[in-house]
Amino acid sequence: MMTPDIGNISKITTNRGVYSLLRLTTVSSTNDYAIELLREPDTPSELIIVADHQTKGKGQMGRRWHTSPGNSLNLSYIIKNITYTPSIFNMAIALGVLDG
């Protein structure tokens, strides 16, 4: 796994607010990377981690997530202090991607 590098985080602004974004070329798993980042005190409270390729990606309930470089959307989203059911958030993200 890559060593977390908080210095590579950029900001993206959308009509819904400003979010922190970390873009990686290759990573074992964006979920594993997110867990490592949560151990760092400087990790933003909301962070989107995007990878062009995952070598050991994970889906829901521990399922493996296989991807080909440049042919898939690989991301994890860190939200500290979440106040709602995560499954509702997963559905909202899926609908947002569909809506564009």
Which pLDDT tens digit goes with each residue over 52-81? 889 998 777 777 877 788 778 888 888 887
Q: Assign 15 a pLDDT band (cuts: 50, 70, 90).
A: low
Q: CB–CB of 54/47 below 8 Å?
A: no
Instruction: For residue 29, give Cα distances in angstroms to 25, 82, 91, 96.
Output: 12, 22, 21, 22
Instruction: Please tell me the CATH code under which domain 6-99 is placed.
Output: 3.30.930.10
Per residue in 27-40, pLDDT (tens digit) is 999 989 999 999 98
Q: What is the pTM assigned to this prediction?
A: 0.70
The conformation of residue 70, written as its DSSP 8-state character, comes to T
Residue 13 pLDDT greater than 90, yes or no: no
Give 39's contacts (C-beta < 8 A, 6+ positions apart): none
% the chain with pLDDT above 90: 13
